[in-house]
Structure formats: C-alpha cells, structure tokens
Amino acid sequence: MKNILYQESIVEIKHLFRMMRNTLLALFVFAGTAFATESYSQTMKVTVVADNMSTGKVISEIEKQTDYLFVYNVNEVNLKRNVKVNAQNKSVAEVLNKVFEGTDIYYAMEGKNIMLMSKAKDGEVAQQANKVTGIVKDTNGEPIIGANVTVKGQSIGTITDIDGRFVLDAPKNAVLQITYIGYVSQEVKVSGNKELNIILKEDTETLDEVVVVGYGTMKKTDLTGAVMQVKTNDIKSVTAGNPLQALQGRAPGVSVMTNNIPGESPTMRIRGSGSISAGNDPLYVVDGFSLMNGSISEVNANDIASIEVLKDASATAIYGSRGANGVVMITTKTGAKNAKNLSFNATYGFQMPGRLIETMNHEQFVDFINTAYTNAKGTPVYTAANPAPDIHTDWQDEIIKDSAPVQDYSISFDGTTGDTQYMVSGGMFLQNGLISSAKFDKYTFRSNIQHKFNRFLTIGSHLQYAYTEQAKAGIGNTAGSLSSIWRSGWPTLPVKNEDGSFAIPADNPAIAGFFSDDARWNPIANYGEVTNTRTTSRLFGDVYAELKITKDLTFKTNFGIDIANVRNYNYGSSKQTTATGSGNGGNGYIKELSRITENILTYTKNWDEHRFSATGVYSWQDYVYENLSISGKGFQNDETGAWDMGLADRETMSYASGKYGNTLISFTGRFTYAYKDRYLMTATARYDGSSRFGTNNKWGFFPSVGLGWRISEETFLANNKVITNLKLRGSYGITGNQEIGNYKSLAQLKSKNYIYNDALMQGFYETIGNPDLKWERTKQFDLGFDLSLWNRIHLNVDYYSRRTSDLLYDVPIPSTSGFSTMLSNIGIVSNKGVEIALSGRIVETKDFKLDATVNISKNKNEIKELYNDVESITVTSGLGLSKYLKVGESLLSIYGLKSEGIIKTEEQLAAYQKIVPTAQLGDEMYADIDDDKAITAKDQINIGETEPNFFYGVALNLEYKKFHLDILGQGAHDFAAVGASNSDMKIGIHGYGDSFNYLLVGENQTDNRCCLPSKYAYERMWSPSNPNGTFPRAGASNLYLSDRSNSGWNYFIIKSIALSYDFGNNPIKGIKGIKGISAFVNLQNFITFANHRGYNPENGDTSNPWIKTITIGVNAKF
C-alpha cells in the first residue's frame, strides 16, 4: 500500500455515505448546517497544469484540491512516471483518464475513495488465472473496506470495495494474503470457484498503539511518561455504579477503595497521598473536558471506549496545577465508520452479604451480659427471679437483607451518515442496597456527534446528561456505623410488640434501669424509619470546531459546561423510638456550575526520519457553588415530613447558605520529537493563574521533560526475534495543587450569633488572610523501561520519586496577632515507589488461548519536614483518638497504644496496677512508653499506615473457541485501619468484627449502646473459667485503639470471575441483521481471603456489609 499514514486516512473516510440524518443533527446546536452532496465526481473540478509532472504529484494535487483519497498498491502504480497535464477546471474523472491513458492502470470511485488497480499483465497469466471472488469481514460481521487482497509472491492484487467484496484474477491454487491495519493478516488458499468468506480478527497489539493524553493522542511507542490504559473489553462485564471500580487490580500504582454504599464514589489514589489539606483526588477528564467535582459516577460504563491513567509529571504536567495527584482520562465511544449499529446491553443480578459477623446465641448473650454487668456493678441483669425471655432477635439479620437486585441496561445507536459520525446512547442503572431503603438509581443519555463540513472544517460535540437518585440508610449525609447500630440492640428484645409498636427497653421494667437515656433504643426503628435522599441532575459536555489550516497546522476551539443541581432531604419520622413523639429533619439544595473554553493549536511535521509536533493551549475555566440548607425538629406530621419547614419548632431550626467561586487561567505548550523512531523527547510547560491564591502568588509555572530510547530499534537489535521491544524512558517535572477552599488567602468576615441583654444578636468575626499563599508543588522523577520478548511477553517497570512542598496547613501563630492560626505553606511530603506489570500469552493454539497479567505496586510515604524545626503537630488529641503529623513518619500513619496482652496472673496484675490502679484480671495491658506510671495519649505510637506496604493484581484470560473466561484478583499486604466511626475508636473495637466489650460508662455505669461482641470474641474472652483467653474480660473499660488488631491487615479478593459465550453474527436461522450476540455470567467478590473478620476486608469499614454479586447479561449488536 501507499504508506501507513495514507492507509490510516482511508480508515477515517472509508465509510462515509452521501445522505445525513437530520433527525440526529437536530440534537445539536449546529443542526441543519450540514448538507448532502451528490455526484461528487462529476461536480468536483480541479486545475492541474504541468509539462512534466510525476503521477504521484498529480495524485497529491487532486487530494489537496478535493476530499478524494487515493488507494493503491505501490508495486502496481508507477508514481514516478512523468505525464503532461493541462487541465483547467476539469472534472477529476477527465484528469485521471488523461493521466493513465495508454497504461494498464484503471480506477474505481467508491464514495470519496479512488482505487487504482492494474489490469492483467499478459495473456499467459490471464489464461492460467481464474476469477476469484470473496468478501472480507471483521469478527462482528461488518464488511472491511479497503483491505489489501494480493496473490502471495506476485504483484497481482486488489482492494475490497464498500461492501467488503473483491474480485481478482489469480492463478489456480494460489495463496491470497489479506491485510488491513488494526487486524491480523491472513492467508487463504484458492480452491475452485467458490466465493471466499474471510474473517479478520483485531490485532490488539496494533489497536493499543494509540493512547489518549492531555489535549491529544500519542503512539504508545512514543510515550516517555507513565501512562496506563484500560480498554472496553476489560470493563464490559463489571456491574458497578461507578466506572472507577473497573480499575481495581488492573492498574499498577492506582488504589481504588470502595465503601459499598450504593451511589458513593470510590476513593482513588495514584502513587500515594501528597497533601495534608489540599486534596489527594486525581483530576478527571471526560472526552477532553475537565470535570468540576471529582465524580464520574454519572458516566455510563457502557459508553466508555478507554480509560487512561496519567501518573508521572511528563504525562500530567500539561494539566499543571490540577495534575499533582494524577489524571484519569475517559474517552467515550464514537460512531462506527463502516456501518450503522444498534447495540443493546442488559445485565441483571443479585447482591448478597459477602462477610457477616457471627453473633452470639441466646445462652451466650445471657451469660455475657450478666458477666459484664456483674463485673462492672456487681449486679447481673437476668436472674432466677427475672429470667431472660425466650426471644432471640438477630438484629444484624433484621437490618441486612439476604439479597438485593442490581440491574444495568443500555442501548446505543452509532454509525456514519454522509459526513456525519454519531453515537447516541441511553442507560439505566438500578441498585438496591442491602440495608433498609438504601438504593442508587441512575439514568443517563449521551450524544457524541461530529460533522465534517469539508476537508478544512470539522465541528462536533460531546453531551452527557444524568439523573441520579441516592437513598442512604441512617440520617444525615453518612450511613453511620452499621456495626455499632445493630450490636446495640439486645437479642432478648423483639423488633415489635404484639400491638405492632416498636419494642424498646423501657417496655421491660426489669431491664429498663440498665439503659438510662437509651431506654427507647430500637435499632430497626432508629435505622429504618429514616428517609435520607440525594437527587442529582447533571449536564456536562462540550461543543467544538476544528479547522485544518494547512496539512500540518490545526486549530481547535471548544466550549464546555458542567451544571449540577442537587437536592438533599433527610427526615427521621416520629416512629423512631428515640423521637419522643415528633420527627426531625431538613432539606436543602446545591447548585454547581463550571464553564471552560480552550483554544488549541497543533502543528505536526514529519520529514525523512524526523517526527515533530507542537501543541499550544489557552484555557479559561470558572466554577461557582451555591447552597442553602435548613433543618429542624418537632415535626408532628410524618406525611409532610421536612418538606414544609414551617412546621418545625422555630427554636430548633438552623440555617446554612453560601455562594462562592474561583477562576483558573492557563497557558500550555507541549513539544514532542522522535528521530528514527528510537530517540524520543517530550517537553511540556504550563503557566497557571488561580483566584484561590494570594496576591503575591497568583501564578505558577509547571514544566516537565521526558526522554525515551527505543533500544530495540537500534541496528544491533532491529531483527532480534527474542527482544521485540525494549525502551528506556525517564521524566522529571513539576505539577501543582490548587484544591483548597476559596478566598483562603483573604481576610474574611463571617457571621456569628451571640446573646446580649437576653436578646439574640448577629455579629461578625474576622479571619486572617495570607497574601503570600501559593501553590503546593510536586516535583516528580520517573525512570522506567518497557520490554517485550517474542512479541508475547511484556514487562513494564517504573521507579518514581514524588516530593511535594509548600503544603497548605493552618499553622499556629502568636496570640498577639489576635488570631490562633493562619493558612500557610509549610513542609515537605515524599512518596517513593516501584510499579511492576508483567503480562503475556502463555498458550496459543488454534482453539485455545491463555493470557496472564500480574502487577504489583509499593509506595513509601514520609513527612520530610514541617515548619520552623517543628518535629510533630497534634491534629487531634485524646487517648485512642489522636492524630499526629510527625517528621520521619507517614502522612497516613495511625497512632495507638502498644498492647502487651491480657492480665492473666496476680503477678502481672500487681505490676500493672502501679500504672493503672483500677486494673483487674482479664484487662488488657498497654505499654507505658514515656514511663510516667500512667497510660496517656503520650504513650501512643505509630501502629501502622492505612496505605498497604504493597498491593497487587492478578488477571487470567482464557479463550476456548467461542468461550471466554476472565478472572481478576486483587490484594493488599500489611496495612492498618480504624473503622468508620469515632465511637468505634473510643471503645477500641479490636478486629472490627470481633469487638468484645459492652462498655459501661457514666456516673451510674449505664449502657452506651455499643457494642456487643461477636461469637468469635465471646468464645475467646478471659474469665476465671477461661484463664488463657486472648480477649479482655466482659465489662472491661480500658479498651483503646492499639497495635493488637488494628494493624497488620492483609487480604486477597477474587474481584471477578466472568464467563461469556460469543454466538457470532446471525446465530438464529431465518433472522438476518444480527451482527453479534454474547451472553455472560459474572461473580464479583465471591472469594475473599483476609486475616480479620470485619465487614469490609479492604479498609475495615463498618458502615456497610461487604457485597458479593452474581449477574447474568447479554450484549447484542444489530
């Protein structure tokens, strides 16, 4: 063929038809501006005048003056043959007839493609040859236009037409070679006159050549930075409300943590955490549009074509002040260039609790509660005179459902009509939670349309609308600690009384005295009689115009908008047993608006063995946030709830409102250069100005440079059959972080109410500003190599060092200033790590393939410096609740006491009572680190980090004929966790799932509701009858966060087991038009290995059960 660049251009244009769908164009602001063209070859005129011009030059002139693209085989067409042309405003056909007059070359026009082909060279070949016909399709049954069909070993060949068909005169028993970019070439032996039906399979290695980077794309072989890509096939069978969940275990250096609350966004970290207070979330970019609030839950996973994760400075510096924490780039699907497709995807499944806590039976509970109260107060609860009722309510079972459905449906229509390429889709995701009324419903609509006016101007848009409804269990904006709630209910109480009212301890005089203010507590009433909803309506996207000024110079301008309207509502009904006869709640709204305009100038130039590109960007983006909320108590009508706030008690009402915004202006440049495809360079610089920072530091400069050396392209390795790819790459750059509150650099007046002369007065107080407030800056160095062996085993290794300085933190200042703290730039945090990814095709036969992938990541986080030689900052204080920032330790460290085991002997007790005089046999001992003969917050040590020592992913992909089996596992080693709530921390829940104490507090040592132990913990408690018990005695009150079971956690989870079967095209006899159908079943989180027994093995979360899911689905294309 002509060359690869021409051939790629053919791919872009090959499927254009002449008519447009006006109904689709009406979706856009530029509806009706396009027009159809007919008889293009007859109406298009060209002027070519020359006495001695090469055939190749004539072809180039026609391409420059028209939208035609020539397709030919360089072995057949003599481009150097000179011709005399004198065509003044002549049709293309007239010019071609003149150029090829007297030669064996003829041409065929297919749309805007002109195919040049050679006639039979001599009569002898013609006599020996027979006519061969055939059709070339892809695996979906779509015709492939422009595929090369040649006779092996000869110069005979042709190209498939718009229907994928070809006709060729070939010798008998010849072998045909069929090739096409992006597909694996195939050889077919000619036998008889039967029409050949040839299926080409996609070449995944070739398709992966291009990756999306900021403001453009790059060949993967040209990358000098660390970029990781996840394709559609990797996420198509994952059923999740947020597409980020598909990245778990697949991306080295990327941590994705879920909390199993329907509709909640996962926590994502790329190469660790580098900021104390300015945020550690990455920037999310969808189709080139930077989202405003770090959430992509509104994106339909079925619309995604690929996800790229930019990790190092060479890749992220183009986003400057927003790229310090990495960038996640999502590219959605576009219209097919070779067909019109109607696609439908349907998934239905059930969620089930994956990890529950085994509870005590009736006899164990009675024994435990009597022992606890006897140890604490000398009085048992249940006696012969007051026996325990023959009731055993499993509150965990009452709150957590056995199963809940999850559904995911999407439909899309894509294709090309005339010069318009389109993709329109709609989706519906419905997820019920396992707790109470928790749920998440999402409805999406997406439209991607691009129209080419002519060879100079292209316009288009990406539009996404989503409406979501999220209902959470519990009141307020968080679900609270599920574990604490259900364990606060005594199993000897029923859920409801015989009259249908909720049962409460106060109904039972024999035990009511043990509950004090909590005598009205019922977990179901106080967890289930709650409405807590959040509805969001969001529209985001952009419109753009691209002008091709010259062959090498392109200008693109786009305008984007992101609008979100959020409505929050929560109400606890009067049926709550703690509601004292009235309801409480509130409602409010949030409005967010972000606008962005970008102007992008791109220049590319290829000559000889050089490739150069330059990109310049001007960007302006603003963000406005507005909110209003109101809450109150004393609602008497549950029907109207908190919608009519006028019905609340006026004295209990509270209000909050605000409006703020910020603006970011940026100038960006990127330069890439490649010499001989082996020496690579990428240089980027961005200059950002943000309204968030001080007058003296509004602007920040963020440069980077990346270098690469493709050693495998050197002459000494060029033909090596073992080492098929070897590239060294390194980068260094600076990125920033501007994610702090608005107006922090300014002195502000804030409202404050106070009482004066028995009257409520409104006043104001001042906050101190800092005109020198500036950007957090992250300097990052990355060194890596990419190695491929036999073109089937691939190894990628990266070492990186991130050093973040000028951290934003409220620093104490002298009281003489009139203020206690001032937001300032302090300190340095370091992240250093290694990422390794190994993949390969282990087995490949005609019917069976086995691919395997392993990745492992290790990151070390360390605080290098604070301020003014300060070695430690106390963020929060209190025994079991302290949070410190200490030089030499991690930003993610957890601090607790050092456990020294259970007091089991009188000798141990006597020694420990010198430190804790109230200690008893069966209590837990803690180390007196500062040797002051007391256990205080000063005795707390670093017991671990919430970031694992290392984490990893394993994937296996098996293919047998039309069956596909994909298995994905993900794990982490050696991390610490504190659970989801402070109440857990206060009582020191050990193992989060094995909390073993019903803590008695207060002057009368009455119950504080939390928490009953698990069966596992009960069976291991110390007691005189169990002197070797490893858990503290019942009723012990000296329980704190410690290294005993809050650290050293590990887990490995089989995240997904997906089995699918591909029925192919037209699998049903008599029904045509089916391009492909596949069905699958997927098991998510079904197998878990962990060394702790809490709900969530990933982070110790106690607010929601761990969910395992089984789904079945079908994907169809028509």
d(CA 658, CA 998): 43
The predicted structure's pLDDT at residue 481:
54
Q: Are 313 and 695 in contact (CB under 8 A)?
A: no
List C-alpha distances in Å: 401 to 118, 398, 575, 1082, 1104.
72, 7, 21, 21, 12
pLDDT value of residue 486: 65
* pLDDT for residue 315 is more than 50: yes
Q: Which of 11-25, 59-73, 654-668 has the highest mean pLDDT?
A: 654-668
**Is 123 strand, coil or helix?**
helix
Question: Strand, coil or helix: what is 597?
Answer: strand
pLDDT bin (cut points 50, 70, 90) of residue 965 is very high
Q: Which CATH number does the domain 4-178 belong to among 3.55.50.30, 3.90.1150.10, 3.40.50.12780, 2.60.40.10?
A: 3.55.50.30
In angstroms, the CA 34 to CA 963 distance is 44
Q: Of the CATH numbers 2.170.130.10, 3.30.930.10, 3.40.190.10, 3.40.50.300, which one belongs to the domain with range 206-332?
A: 2.170.130.10
Tell me the pLDDT of the chain averaged across its residues: 81
Residues facing 1046 on adjacent strands = none
List, for residues 787-834, the tens digit of each pLDDT value.
Answer: 999 888 999 999 999 999 988 888 887 777 777 778 888 889 999 999
Q: What is the mean pLDDT of residues 244-266?
A: 85
Report the alpha-carbon angle 1041-1047-1051, nearest 5: 135
Instruction: Give residue 515's pLDDT.
Output: 61
- CA 441 to chain centroid, in Å, comes to 19
Question: What number is the average pLDDT over the span 73-89?
Answer: 81
Residue 885 in 3-state DSSP? strand
Region(s) of the chain under CATH 2.170.130.10: 206-332
Per cent of the chain over pLDDT 70 is 84
Q: Where in the chain is the domain with CATH 3.55.50.30?
A: 4-178
pLDDT, position 175: 85
The long-range contacts involving 232-237, CB below 8 angstroms and separated by at least 24 positions, are 232/304, 232/305, 232/306, 232/333, 235/301, 235/304, 235/307, 236/302, 236/1115, 237/966, 237/1056, 237/1058, 237/1060, 237/1080, 237/1082, 237/1113
Model-level pTM greater than 0.85?
Answer: no
Size (the chain), residues: 1118
Using omega within 30 degrees of 0 as the cis cutoff, is the peptide bond preceding 1010 cis?
Answer: no
Please tell me what DSSP assigns to residue 358.
P
Residue 669, pLDDT above cutoff 90: yes
The rounded distance, in Å, linking the Cα atoms of 538 and 594 is: 11
Q: Is the pLDDT confidence value at 274 over 90?
A: no
Mean pLDDT in residue range 622-633: 92
**Residue 830 bridge partners (DSSP):** 803, 862
Residue 29: which region, alpha, beta or left (left: phi > 0; alpha: psi -120 to 50)? Answer: alpha
Greater confidence, 968 or 90?
A: 968
Higher-pLDDT residue of 760 and 369 is 369
